[in-house]
Structure 1
Amino acid sequence: MSEQGKVYALVDCNSFYASCERVFRPDLARVPIVVLSNNDGCVIARSADAKPFVKMGEPYFQVKERLRQKGILAFSSNYALYGDMSQRVMATIEGLVPAVEVYSIDEAFADLTGMKPPFEPLGQQIRARVQLYTGLPVGVGIAGTRTLAKLANHAAKRWQRQTDGVVDITDPLRRDKLLKACDVSDVWGVGRNMTQHLTRMGIKTAWDLAQADPWMLRKRFSVVIEKTARELRGTSCLKFEELAVAKQEICCSRMFGYRLKKIEPIREAVATYVARACERLRAQGSLCKKVRVSLRTGMFNPDEPKFAKGVVCELPYPTDDTRLITKVAMAGLENAFSPGYAFSKAEVLLLELCQRGEFTDDMFTGAQAASSDKVMQVLDSINAKWGKGTVRPCGVPAMPEWGMRRELMSPGYTTRLDQLWRVK
């Protein structure tokens, strides 16, 4: 156990995107899968059995024939499905442990401090419960610090058959054995460049990094790598954030399905992105003071003229009203747009966010009316009950022609009433 008596578990879904695609397709249980990025551009996720044949980030058009020859199926990214499945996984974990910090869409830290060992049965219970409730496989790493829990989770996946998906290294002897068996590149936060620097210093394993002088690491690299070394030795340095911190900026951006030369469809896109960003804004209880609208062309075609511009617009008062922010964003779009270019992407960025009551009202400016609050509350409640986009601004189309190309997307099994799973 760590020096402070802390115990953490990292629960991480195995090949999350690919596993989500398999939940409602039992026929794909033994079929290798890859998931593609926006507009079916690059490979961004792979099932374990697809990894030997395709690299992360490879353009789909380059590997399409190879995938066909190897019997690997490709899917367009279905973010609505993945997000919903993620919420189900996190809710399941929260029902089994005292506190949870959601770290990403497919992994969460659980604070097990105060619970009685052994912890491995609890890890197996988490795996079984998540599998039963969601159909998704997870690995569990348990240790005295978050960095060690990450490493234990890595071991649980790497040696899944031997460990049955759960590795507990709260015991110092087991911890040291794992540290000696793992490369320094396996450590959380140690990237490719850092690995090269450490290797030249003779630090090749996680054990070597744990034994290195923390002050030397801080002086030569950064406080981050110093804390990493201390965590590997069992000293908890990273704060557990049980409650999500409100974001200081909210961004919504997408590539268009094809190049847009006219401003009319770009207006639809910007209105759509504003609506999505404002939903997130209200979800965290924040207000927005500024909005930035950006446009850019494709940047990699040497035969295509390049152009990029962003415009920051001041709002009359802090607000979360989609209608007002859309109106101001449209004025910004007029300034950002330049005719004669083929635009590939638009971005909406909400800036200078503040919580209600955290700012001082200006006696010479207006404030958001109570009626606006009520309208937005009704909008969100209807969409929460009947699905996103049920009620939306008139400038937001239901099925835009400029939308992302997702020709290989699976149904929204859990997010669309018209696409529910059918059992025959």
Structure 2
Amino acid sequence: MLHWRSLVSALKLAEPPRRASMPVSKVYETSIDRLSILEPDGTFDESLGKGVIPDGDAVKLYEHIMLCRKFDEIAFKLQRSGRMGTYPENRGQEATSLGAAYALESKDWLVTCYRENAGLFWRGLPMEKILLHWMGDERGNQIDSELRVTPLAIPIGTQMLHAVGLAWAYKYQDSSSVSCTFFGDGATSEGDFHEAMNFAANLDIPTLFFCQNNGWAISVPTSIQCSADVLAQRAVAYGMKTIQVDGNDIFAVVKAVRDAAAYMRETSKPAFIEATTYRLGDHTTADDARRYRDAEEVEEWQGRDPVIRLRKYLEQRDLWNQSKQDEMEARAEKTVAEVVKNAEGIEPPVTEDMFDSMYASIPENLKTQRRTLRTSSLGQDPSQLPVRDTART
């Protein structure tokens, strides 16, 4: 009996036929453009920015940003004095949502998270609504549908699915409306982000995914959260038209959003914008960014502040001066003070109202609970009310 080693050595194995080596070829190659028009020192690229924002509108946008910053300042003080709950400052990021809201049409939907005050107020959302929301009053999220603005979305990334659904519905109605959803860099690591992107790309749904990359997902820097060179690369994987913009340059934001909207209306396809920006404050009033951010980093970004940048642009064109600045700041102070008075003076909500906003048609079990609450509220001893047996059988 042959040993297996001898048997193997005795076999003459046929070599596979040689074939010419196949050349390596590229199957896909792309690049991502970055758009910047207005530099931090006020230098303006006329070739790219001419006609993007008329002078009169530029003044209005600047006044609006300053009003929003005053709102931010006072909202922060309300929280610190115990008159409002947790609040996320918008300071430093105002040009992103404001530029988008300005560039889009009133028929388009703004689907936000929680750091887009400037865009929401430009669209017409009363400032009182934002204060009520952070005061814990659900009436802050009861918004006139004519504004085409959704309530604030606190869970990270969930609003992107809603934006795709809205745009899909309007596409079925043969409408030219598009949706624009805002989210931060941290949301690009959520499953909802990829589901929404995949759905919109595969079904050709005109949704603008607007990523406000402020460099930090609370305390996690983008460099740790994502290995890609730029977050816009993630959109390339879904075959989307994409661009990166200087998010503190309102001219670049307006042009990028306007171009994306025109593309979506023409093709019914989605688009992606990554706006690089920075939150100058903490993540929220429950956070202390000094524990994870260097003071030098914050100081560097303060030099890129969208407010300072736009003011330099206006001053260089003799459209703004210190006298106008003083007058505008006084108006902003008065306006926000009136808003706070209105929000704090509103009658407390009726307890029964908490049953009304969950379902389109209230189910029977909640109707029963509401009747029980109503009876109890009228003074009947709750201990005498019938108790439903909820034990499992």
- TM-score bin, normalised by smaller chain: under 0.3
TM-score normalized with structure 1 length: 0.23
If you compute each CA radius of gyration, which structure gives the higher value, 1 or 2? 2
TM-score normalized with structure 2 length: 0.24
